[in-house]
Chain A
């Protein structure tokens, strides 16, 4: 377990209950945790976890110039993911008609999503709008093709895992916890105005 876990961490993977249940359980044991941590330290790495401890990943102990270069690349990927992932999460709330966002462990059934979107022109329109993002352009000009592309890209990025190939059931991974943490950070530090007031004067004039 130790060996495969360390290899996955070194390959930049997020270890959560969904992607590697045994590995995640292994790290819950403090003794195992320190063994892995100890090993990583020799490489100037450490074992980091998301705020809610829903996933583990490897981080640098000391950020020198080489580490900074690597971090820059990882950050650029996050920058690329920000807009489409936010749009996907918001769209899923509309699809599932729920007041909670997706959380690690939640499941998405391809067939159910397809049925919902096909029967809702506004959602179909939103799905089509994903084509403006890099990596989401589908060759197929159908709701099914676009939805397949959306879910497969999110799987490639590590936010989803295909739990059942036959029924096409996807499961949300612990990496989403990392995404929420980053989103919160950006909102707070860049002062993004996410609170919309009901009495906003600009909107009043439109009616």
Chain B
């Protein structure tokens, strides 16, 4: 994509998504949803918006400053001031926010809170950009000159910039600032997350810059061209994360370095007609057989505990004699339904082997069992005359049963 095309794409995106950009500018953050997700991603790629939180985006520092300037906003900070003065601004804004909060001036407090948020993000953006840019310059250019005059000019340039960064970072007093917003959890989290957590990284970059400065302050060095190429390219990619190289494979003439074959998968097969290698093939096949057997062994199905239906001899249990006669007695009752049959008379006629008293007990039990299934058999006790002294006792001399449909 040419620079002109890139510019056109940027302006189109600004125009098409002006509502989202305005929301980010005035409200401080735009949250992602199903409708704006694509537009937000595009604006982020173009560095119009940057991450605010996991699902929120804010306007980038530079664009915010440009809008401030274009609208002559009262938010405008003087750009010619150094970063250290922005830290002073931050402290003042926090104090004013606290006053507004204490005096219950809600609207003022909200305005100060929004301004504090912007200062924090601006500071964070600038420290990130300046430390990484200066580190890249010092790695790829510093002391890589031919004359002493050039070297002196360079020294002045780099030392002055390092001084400004050191002042800015030194003026950030993390504990003091966090203590100031201790009672305001949202501001505390913002300060901690967006600025304080990143301080060690900025410190480290400054340290690396200083190390290089000390080493080459009075020396010249020769940085190889490839190193400059890689450093410059890496910086370009960091600045343009959405960069995608041209598809050179679609050109009419493909550049030499991309003329490269696609890796082939080589899978040779044995020539079984070639007797010269017969012995080798036999040896391989024999080995394969062993392998196959081994594999088969492994794959052999495990034994299954088979469940078989075993035919068992049926043992016919002989019914006891009294059960046989009970069954006959009750069958007779059903056959002669409506007619009472005396248990004792049945016993005397058919079952002499069983004593009358035992037989009566068996009949009584069977009748009770049958009662659980149905109540078609009515029972009547035939009793002996009761004794005057024992009126509660019953002495049964016969049982009369009768089947009723």
* A positions within 8 Å CB-CB of B: 7, 10-13, 45, 48, 57-60, 63, 68, 70-76, 78-79, 82-83, 86-87, 89-90, 93-94, 97, 99-101, 120-123, 125, 178, 180-187, 189-190, 192-196, 198-199, 203, 205-207
Contact = CB atoms under 8 A, between A and B. Distances in A.
Given A196-B140, A206-B126, A7 B266 contact: yes
B266 A11 contact: yes
Contact of B262 (A63, A74, A121): A74
A48 B259 CA distance: 9
22 contacts: A48-B256, A59-B256, A71-B259, A71-B262, A79-B247, A86-B230, A90-B233, A90-B234, A93-B231, A94-B139, A99-B222, A100-B223, A122-B205, A181-B257, A183-B230, A183-B233, A186-B245, A189-B246, A194-B229, A203-B130, A205-B79, A205-B80
B277 to A, nearest CB: 15
Contact of B133 (A93, A195, A203): A203
Given A68-B249, A100-B224, A195 B205 contact: no
B229 A184 contact: yes
A180 B226 contact: yes
A93 B205 contact: no
A12 B139 contact: no
Contact of A71 (B82, B222, B249): B249
B137 interface: yes
Given A75-B247, A183-B233, A194 B262 contact: no
List the 3 closest A-B pairs by CB distance, nearest first.
A194-B232, A12-B263, A70-B262
B249 A207 contact: no
Tell me if A's interface is mostly helix, strand, loop or mixed. Answer: helix
Among B126, B133, B234, B235, residue most surrounded by chain A Cβ atoms (within 10 Å): B234
B264 interface: yes
Interface of B: 79-80, 82-83, 126, 129-130, 133, 136-137, 139-141, 154, 157, 161, 164, 200-201, 203-205, 208, 211, 221-224, 226-237, 243-250, 254-266
B261 A12 contact: yes
A148 B248 CA distance: 32
A11 B264 contact: yes
Contacts of B231: 90, 93, 194
Contacts of B200: 121
B230 A71 contact: no
A125 B202 CA distance: 11
Contacts, number: 166
A198 B245 contact: no
A190 B257 contact: no
Nearest to B249: A75
B130 A45 contact: no
Nearest to B132: A122
Among B247, B249, B256, residue most surrounded by chain A Cβ atoms (within 10 Å): B249
Tell me if B's interface is mostly helix, strand, loop or mixed. Answer: helix
Contact of B233 (A12, A187, A205): A187
Nearest to A123: B204
Contacts of B264: 10-12
B228 A12 contact: no
A122 B208 contact: yes
B44 to A, nearest CB: 13
Contact of B260 (A11, A71, A90): A71
B235 A196 contact: yes
A42 to B, nearest CB: 14
A123 B247 CA distance: 32
Contacts of A63: 254, 259
A72 B126 contact: no
A71 to B, nearest CB: 5
A86 B204 contact: no
Given A101-B227, A203-B130, 8 more contacts: A12-B264, A48-B259, A59-B261, A60-B259, A74-B258, A79-B247, A99-B222, A101-B224
Nearest to B216: A99
A103 B263 CA distance: 25
Given A12-B263, A75-B249, A122-B205, A195 B126 contact: no
B233 A86 contact: yes
A92 to B, nearest CB: 9
Contact of A87 (B211, B234, B259): B234
